[in-house]
Structure 1
Amino acid sequence: MDFALILFVLSVVTGVLWFYDVFKARKLRPKGAPDPWWVEYGASFFTVILPIFLLRSFLVEPFRIPSGSMIPTLQIGDFILVNKYQYGVRLPVINKKIIEVGSPQRGDVFVFRYPQDPSQDYIKRVVGLPGDKIEYINKRLTVNGVDVPVTPVGEYVQGIDAETRLTEKLGDVTHDILNNPDRSDEPGSIPHPFSENCVRSAKGLICTVPAGHYFAMGDNRDNSADSRVWGFVPDENIVGKAFFIWFHIDNILPFPKGVSFDRIGGFK
């Protein structure tokens, strides 16, 4: 079940108990009488749960990186913070935008609900804005007919594979990406809305981003299932902008290991 929904339900239930206790039940209890069980185990938690719910819903929300699709920018086991208001204030649970504040920009790293299964949260980099023409041919990215500049910076060993590490400038953001010269440029695809906006070939694909949608890609270009595979990200699926690493653990179960504090900080 969605954690935001759980917090919402708990906030409502404990809130009802808290208000009933404060404004009615407390006045009827004999002086010095102990709090009943429903106050001790219900109403008393309201003042703790409500601030957590509001913080996660409107300010920042923590996430853990579960896959390597954003390597080298984000590693598996990074714990990150996501700005919930930078792209607009949204109602919790239903994710309905009620106040326009800003919108994703090229180069942003953002969290969104996976279009094929909104119960899952994904994190990728914004590559294409509504109306953009995106070309990814022979591992080279072009936006609106302009090549995105890249500079090779060396090798990156990932398991048994040696990836090419490049510095890419996307919009105003400079970041590193990985390419595997031995991988195909066409990652395959699954049926998705606006699939007619894309033309595919063995060399890659060309897509026009529909209104109200975004084209997202992982920095680990040949190890990322992204908009090249499952399509565009609708604006209503956006959760927020990722901006800070606050902790790192290589593995949680069965035993934590590889705890690292040197990754703490902001990232691009």
Structure 2
Amino acid sequence: MANFYSILLTLVTLAAGLIWLYDAKFKKPLRKAKIADEEQRLQQQLDDEARERLAPQGRIAEFAQSVFPILFIILIVRSFFYEPFRIPSASMMPTMLAGDFILVQKYSYSVRDPLFRHELVRTGTPERGDIAVFKYPLQPNVDYIKRIIGTPGDRIIYRNKTLYLEPACVASSAECPKMQVIAREVKQQDEVYFSRSTPLVRYTEQIGDVTHDILVDPTVAPRTAYFYQQPGTAPDEWIVPEGQYFFMGDNRDNSEDSRYWGFVPHDNLVGRATFIWMSFEMDRDANSLLPQWVPTGIRWHRLGSVE
């Protein structure tokens, strides 16, 4: 469940806070009264150690008091500022690799409550070229990460592995934008990416103001027959509805994205990917004594901002 940790963290933080509050409101005055009575009987002031022995704070309350401030800070940061995510698949290669750990800026597009994800404040507009995490429309309890290709009103064509884009016509513009081919250039590769045993061709492409790399498998035929069919358009053409977005993976022939299941509503957006803070190599041999989830190394060169 994609929102499980947010719900769990919220509930645990709330429980710790309530225990601490109950102890401070009801138990602490009783402890102070007991100490005051003993000091009056002895006609002297007790030191901290003696007070603790006489009227100790319960272990659960003491633990709650210790962890609540930490949990509260983590909850606020994770819910409204930055949340860590792990890249589980190869659909965003070469920009992101399986084993990359990223930070997602939660307030990029809106501020939402951590439990029900109701939008509290709209803070930004998703742009073409953004890499964003979103709730998978067909299974909202699963998080996906892809690149925004189309914004509301855009017309998109993906034909013979070539991307065409006609930006939405703005009412204040004197002339509407024309359909354009998203140009791409073959890029010299320092490292070669594979799909099984097939080397992938690496291109440089520009979407909006963002220049990034994509991968294309030359052995895979166009999968037009499997594309999401929007009523009133060609099989390889889509017009992005108002309040929704069209996403694609950078590993174009190994990505389950909007081409196959349609658009992402604004309410499904989680945030924009901004930084790779850790990247593990996961190349452990099947005969290894260690479990497959144990990393084999760290890709230090991958740490940094993402495009």
Give TM-score, length-normalised by structure 2. Answer: 0.81
- 1:28 aligns to what? 30
Question: Which residue identity is paired with 2:181?
Answer: D
Question: Which residue identity is paired with 2:20?
Answer: W
- Counterpart-to-counterpart distance in 2, 1:189 and 1:151: 27
- 1:108 aligns to what? 130
Unmatched segments (≥5 aa) in structure 2: 36-50, 167-178, 283-290
Question: Which residue identity is paired with 1:103?
Answer: T
Q: Are 1:163 and 1:180, in contact at CA under 8 Å, matched by a contact in 2?
A: yes
DSSP-derived class of the 1:196 partner: coil
Structure 1 residue 121: deviation in Å? 0.7
Matches within 5 A, 1:109-258: 109-144=131-166, 145-154=179-188, 156-158=192-194, 159-186=196-223, 189=226, 195-196=230-231, 198-200=233-235, 205-251=236-282, 253-258=292-297
- In 2 relative to 1, CA 122–185 (structure 1 residues): closer, same or farther, beyond 3 Å? same
Structure 1 residue 187: deviation in Å? 5.8
Q: 1:86 aligns with which of 89, 92, 108?
A: 108
DSSP-derived class of the 2:104 partner: strand
- In 2 relative to 1, CA 115–206 (structure 1 residues): closer, same or farther, beyond 3 Å? same
- Identity score, percent: 41
DSSP-derived class of the 1:126 partner: strand
Question: Which residue identity is paired with 2:19?
Answer: L
Q: Are 1:165 and 1:177, in contact at CA under 8 Å, matched by a contact in 2?
A: yes
State whether structure 2 residue 303 is matched by structure 1 residue 267. Answer: no
Structure 1 residue 11: deviation in Å? 1.5
- Counterpart-to-counterpart distance in 2, 1:55 and 1:197: 44
- Counterpart-to-counterpart distance in 2, 1:188 and 1:112: 25
> If you compute each CA radius of gyration, which structure gives the higher value, 1 or 2?
2
* 233-242 vs 158-167, greater mean Cα deviation: 158-167
* 208-217 vs 9-18, greater mean Cα deviation: 9-18
Q: CA RMSD in A?
A: 1.9
Question: More helix by proportion, 1 or 2?
Answer: 2
Structure 1 residue 189: deviation in Å? 4.1
DSSP-derived class of the 1:199 partner: coil
Question: Which residue identity is paired with 2:260?
Answer: V
DSSP-derived class of the 1:92 partner: coil
Question: More strand by proportion, 1 or 2?
Answer: 1
- Counterpart-to-counterpart distance in 2, 1:243 and 1:131: 26
Q: Are 1:197 and 1:208, in contact at CA under 8 Å, matched by a contact in 2?
A: no
User: Could you give the per-residue CA deviations for residues 215-244 of structure 1, whole angstroms, max 9, x where no partner exists?
Assistant: 000000000000011111110010000010
Structure 1 residue 136: deviation in Å? 0.3
DSSP-derived class of the 2:187 partner: strand
- Counterpart-to-counterpart distance in 2, 1:209 and 1:259: 39
- 1:4 aligns to what? 6
- In 2 relative to 1, CA 263–38 (structure 1 residues): closer, same or farther, beyond 3 Å? same
DSSP-derived class of the 1:249 partner: strand
Structure 1 residue 27: deviation in Å? 1.5
Residues paired across the two proteins, number: 262
Q: Are 1:66 and 1:77, in contact at CA under 8 Å, matched by a contact in 2?
A: yes
* 35-44 vs 174-183, greater mean Cα deviation: 35-44
